Structure 1
Amino acid sequence: MQKMLKRTKIVATIGPATETEEVIGQLIDAGMNVARFNTKHGTPEWHRERVQRVRKVAAEKGLPVAVLLDLQGPEIRVDLRDGQAFSVRDGEEVFFTFNKQSTEEKVIFIPENVVDTLQIGNFVLLDDGACEFEIVKKEDDFLMAKALGDFEVKTRKTMNTPGIVIDMPSLIDPDRVQLDGAVETGVDFVGLSFVRDKEDIKILRDELDKRGLKDTSIVAKIENQSALDNLDEIINASDAVMVARGDLAVEVPFEQLAFWQKLIITKCRLAGKPVITATQMLKSMVESPRPTRAEVSDVANAVYDSTDAVMLSEETTIGKFPVKAVETQAKIAAFNEEYETSYLDEWEDETDPSLVAHAAVYLMQNEENSIDSVVCLTETGNTVNLLTRFRPKVDVHALTSNELTYRKLALNYGVIPHIVEFAGGKIEEPNAMVEILKEKGIVKSGETVLVIYGTIWKTPGLTNSLSIVHVK
């Protein structure tokens, strides 16, 4: 029987350091459950070929590995004259403009609508907050800003405007090109950057539908104030959520970041939506074989917050120790999960699957039952989502005949997905079903198994039954 060494899942970003089949296999062995592809870098052809490699290696290992295509979204990147970086001193003034004919010595080129929107007294941050400016003067075609510190300004770095909403489309043309490129291989999740409200989710869902990708799940990335203001509707409209702490940490005061992380994770659990905690979790391992103490605490804290998954970015795209970074996250998660106490006393839905999931948790918490594992039959994964939000301390074996559901459930905390086939029709005898699972090695003799199922196999929405079975 496949036994889970950790219940928290790991999302690892594929890049130059990890693009070969050999290293992809090593990442899976180390604990990668979801392979992320960042479309800010690479062509659709590059991503398509690497997605195929992930699919091939995962199939050879007989393990579910989901694919997350992370769209760039409408981020603002600055341009410099001839791409040349320059240094500024505290209090020095620089110009922000859309006029490429500007003759100012230290000038930063930005879109016209950004110049139009910003006002005197607003703050501008570049390069994930490494450069901070305050707008001190505004004219029709430029902004004058005062540097708040000594730093170097580099070209093509991101620009953030904390507290100021810039009118920009939710998807840009390169995003649509990447979606076109995903049609051939298919992807399990699509990440939507800089989500502001549920309408952004709808726009992406419509684009997926147009391409025959309607069953692909949407991961809403929470990384600006608008998303926080509309958090509940975004969670409800999406299929999963990412706490994207890179941009979020410069959009809100940094002292608030841990608060928002905990709140987002809790709200996702209440709604039964998987949640990923991301950005710079083990960044020092880009260069070092060991994480810092603060990074170890950061990963552990996400586990204690009850996140479904933790993510690696530069650590596995360009890092010197990508496999070790995954192993490190896995070790931290596996140890701390045993001491995490997760309470969830409220839930938002009263559907049959939700009530069945809650009843299952009650049975697991009753020590007299001594449940060793859970087996849940699912077609869409919905019942599993509702169950695992309670973070059970035993393995949850999700049985499905749907390949897409099989891979998607790789993101859920504590879930071991399996592809199985049962005869169609009514399921009347869970003991007979468990015997089949024993033959497949999913359960074993002597175990006490909690089985969650519906009376009709492969029919979504009919999960309504629980049985405790002692495997002979």
Structure 2
Amino acid sequence: MEFYATLGDPCAKREVLEKLFRAGMTGIRVNLSHTSLAKCAPILEELYWPAARAAGRPDAHLILDLQGPELRVGELPRTLPLREGDELLLGDGGVPIPQGILQTARRGQQISIDDGALLLDVKRASPTVLLCRVVRGGPLLSRKSLSLLGAEIDTPPLTSDDVENLSRARSCGVTHILQPFVRNRQDIDVLRDTLAVLGLGRLQIIAKIENSQGCSHLDEIIGAADQICIARGDLGNTMPLWKLPGIQKDIASRCRAAGREFCLVTQLLWSMEQRPVPTRAEVSDIYNGVLDGASSLMLTGETAAGKWPVQAMEYLVRTANEALNAI
């Protein structure tokens, strides 16, 4: 079974990476929504691969999570504290957001930010600006995920930044590509063609299921991808949260039936960003995910921004191994 961390400041240290490997980590994810492969290359060359060799894992995985058609808040000069009932301007003269949201949003729709941590009601809409009311407040930071609930935004499967990052993949030792917001087989075909042109046809494509289109075209995506990733963060933004466990179970079942490996990600040990011990619900979630057939588990904020990255990996691996022993 594979156990992945996400690269970030807490684990961008040689000694921490070695500890993560010795705890059971088998690879690391680079989230290109917040950085570039060029910026990460020194860390990978000077820290990650030496730590992998020192820990006896020269075959470790390196996973690129592309930007793809994901929608995000633009750059902000500072963190914006949002309070329930506040009004917020998006677009011209306000918080920068993608043009596709501005052109699609209508009065009465809701906008989810940062995997649902923040929620806005659209009060007035025009092609250049949205006036919103804060329904669920908190700190608003740059580059946080953005979703117009109940709507699909037409965007290309790969960005120019994606292609630039992929052009550096060979020199950095990349082994897998996480393709975000896969909507259908055509999205995967575009990525495969791009990899072939770059001489990267050997790389494994992991298709992230995180929108309603991906769920609707799941069988063709399962057939086209090398692996599936059940990406519960943005997937949970497309539906009432109480429906998410059933969708997760359905995706897992269909992957098993097709003989396709799948990865489970998002908030596996979310509380361990701040606490050294997980909740009972979190370890139960991991245990059941393994029983459902997950071939890999991935930590995100727990290692990219959390205070306890090594401990989080230890709990992840030990809980998963308990489940494997029960199968």
Equivalent AA in structure 2 for residue 191 of structure 1:
L
Which residue of structure 1 aligns with residue 196 of structure 2? 209
Deviation of the 1:93 alpha carbon: 3.9
Counterparts of 1:96-115 in structure 2, within 5 Å, are 96-97=90-91, 99=92, 102=93, 107-115=94-102
| Alpha-carbon distance in 1 for matches of 2:179, 2:22 | 28
1:179 aligned residue (154, 162, 166)? 166
2:65 aligned residue (66, 70, 87)? 70
| Alpha-carbon distance in 1 for matches of 2:289, 2:90 | 38
| Alpha-carbon distance in 2 for matches of 1:29, 1:152 | 35
Which residue of structure 2 aligns with residue 94 of structure 1? 88
Tell me the SS of whatever aligns to 2:95.
Answer: strand
Contact 2:119 2:137 in 1 (8 A): no
Equivalent AA in structure 2 for residue 289 of structure 1:
P
| Alpha-carbon distance in 2 for matches of 1:144, 1:74 | 24
Counting helix residues as a fraction of each chain, which structure ranks higher?
2
TM-score when normalising by structure 2: 0.90
Contact 1:183 1:213 in 2 (8 A): yes
Change (3 A) 1:22 1:133: closer
Change (3 A) 1:296 1:194: same
Equivalent AA in structure 2 for residue 131 of structure 1:
L
Larger CA Rg, structure 1 vs 2:
1
Contact 1:51 1:67 in 2 (8 A): no
Which residue of structure 2 aligns with residue 309 of structure 1? 296
Change (3 A) 1:140 1:60: closer
2:255 aligned residue (255, 258, 268)? 268
Bigger mean CA offset, 266-275 vs 45-54: 45-54
2:30 equivalent to 1:37:
yes
Change (3 A) 1:79 1:12: closer
Residue by residue over 1:350-398, the C-alpha shift from the partner in whole angstroms, topping out at 9 and shown as x without a partner, is xxxxxxxxxxxxxxxxxxxxxxxxxxxxxxxxxxxxxxxxxxxxxxxxx
| Alpha-carbon distance in 2 for matches of 1:135, 1:321 | 38
Equivalent AA in structure 1 for residue 3 of structure 2:
I
| Alpha-carbon distance in 2 for matches of 1:140, 1:48 | 39
Which residue of structure 1 aligns with residue 9 of structure 2? 16
| Alpha-carbon distance in 2 for matches of 1:244, 1:9 | 16
Counterparts of 1:258-297 in structure 2, within 5 Å, are 258-297=245-284
Bigger mean CA offset, 48-57 vs 286-295: 48-57
Which residue of structure 1 aligns with residue 105 of structure 2? 118
| Alpha-carbon distance in 2 for matches of 1:312, 1:227 | 22
2:183 aligned residue (193, 196, 200)? 196
Bigger mean CA offset, 308-317 vs 56-65: 56-65
| Alpha-carbon distance in 1 for matches of 2:97, 2:318 | 43
Which residue of structure 2 aligns with residue 360 of structure 1? none
Deviation of the 1:94 alpha carbon: 3.2
Change (3 A) 1:322 1:155: closer
Contact 2:89 2:129 in 1 (8 A): yes
Deviation of the 1:300 alpha carbon: 1.3
Q: State, as a whole percentage, how many aligned pairs show the same letter.
A: 34
Q: Structure 2: which 5+ runs fail to align?
A: none
| Alpha-carbon distance in 2 for matches of 1:80, 1:22 | 32
Tell me the SS of whatever aligns to 2:202.
Answer: coil
Equivalent AA in structure 2 for residue 66 of structure 1:
H
| Alpha-carbon distance in 2 for matches of 1:173, 1:288 | 38
Aligned residues: 325
Tell me the SS of whatever aligns to 2:284.
Answer: helix
Tell me the SS of whatever aligns to 1:40.
Answer: coil
Which residue of structure 2 aligns with residue 322 of structure 1? 309
2:153 aligned residue (159, 163, 166)? 166
| Alpha-carbon distance in 2 for matches of 1:215, 1:81 | 38
